[in-house]
Homo-oligomer: A and B are copies of this chain.
Amino acid sequence: MIIDCHGHYTTAPEPHQKFREAQLVRIKDSTLPAATPVRIGDDEIRESIETNQLRLQRERGADLTLFSPRASAMGHHVGDESVSLAWTRACNDLVKRVVDLYPQNFVGVCQLPQSPGVPIAHSVHELTRCVRDLGFVGCNLNPDPSGGHWNSPPLTDRHWYPFYEAMVELDVPAMIHVSASCNANFHATGAHYINADTTAFMQFIQGDLFRDFPTLRFIIPHGGGAVPYHWGRYRGLADMLERPPLDSHVMRNVFFDTCVYHQPGIDLLVDVIDIDNILFGSEMLGAVRGIDPQTGHYFDDTRRYIDSLPVSAEAKRQIFELNARRVFPRLDALLKARGL
């Protein structure tokens, strides 16, 4: 079984974007009535999925995608908390409709109604709703809701603890995932995403978060940012900072996906990071949509890179399926209930 732990609904039907645009208009003119989600037909959803994510899932031979709203459109920096909440609910509800239409192919992961300066405790309710009421199995947590100004406390700060308590209680992991960048220095998918991944990992080295939350689990996407490439640096920094070795200090709780779009990168990932810590992911349809002229295949067809690895079938099964089931226990329960 092949589980893609990192897929986004980047192809949502147009009415969904219309709602967002109405929100943006109302931010500038508060005399307008509050925007409300526009009705979207099942057929529109079916078409958007069947011609895109579902088609690619089938073509590339994946079975199931952990599916969340488009990350770059989360836009936590836009408007205020009420704008973020209304948008987030609409995004999550739309993912739920995809899951209901294709329950064998998609399982939900939720966006959070974060907003700069707003306590993270305010996101607990939406997490709980998505997990308990909608059957979602995880969430995307934005370490920088400002969109590139990085003025929230580090992820190891007690600021975040109320949310971690809810994650532990619900037994769901979070993928650490920023959204769009409104800082001209940072291209979203080319710099902001990768920097956030690297930044989060280093914060975990500096802090003691997993002493306080031994069962808390994070996926750092995009292959862990720069971390595996600089694995020697991080092992050395842990030592210099008198932190415990990374395996016990961080790697019981932190996992990397395989959204690394060339074979040498995946080879390195699997070379330096324990197989237990690697989850198959493609980020599709996502950051990079083209065909690699060097291979003739899509950059984000990451299954090919895993298939080509010189590792055992059992190791590949861990990457493709077993690690995801361990990191997302609610996914495992759901699959077991289906006899899988």
Query: Which A residues are closer than 8 A to B by beta carbons?
Result: 143-144, 148-150, 152-154, 157, 183-187, 189-191, 194-195, 198-199, 202-203, 205-206, 222-223, 225-226, 228-237, 239-240, 260-262, 264-265, 267-268, 271-272, 287-290, 292, 294, 299-300
Asked whether, in the complex, the Cβ of A233 is within 8 Å of the Cβ of B206, the reply is no
Residues from chain B with Cβ under 8 Å of A153 in the complex: 184-185
Asked whether, in the complex, the Cβ of A198 is within 8 Å of the Cβ of B226, the reply is yes
In the bound assembly, the distance between CA atoms of A187 and B271 in angstroms comes to 26
Residues from chain B with Cβ under 8 Å of A191 in the complex: 195, 198-199, 202-203
Q: Taking the full assembly, how many copies of this chain does it contain?
A: 2
Could you tell me the distance in whole angstroms from the C-beta of A230 to the nearest C-beta in chain B?
A: 6
Could you tell me the distance in whole angstroms from the C-beta of A300 to the nearest C-beta in chain B?
A: 8
Cβ-defined partner of A202 (8 Å) among B149, B150, B190, B228: B190
Asked whether, in the complex, the Cβ of A185 is within 8 Å of the Cβ of B152, the reply is yes
Which 5 A-B pairs give the minimum distances between C-beta atoms? A232-B262, A232-B261, A226-B226, A236-B288, A229-B229
Asked whether, in the complex, the Cβ of A261 is within 8 Å of the Cβ of B233, the reply is yes
Considering the complex, give the chain B residue whose CB is closest to the CB of A188. Answer: B202
Residues from chain B with Cβ under 8 Å of A262 in the complex: 231-233, 235, 272
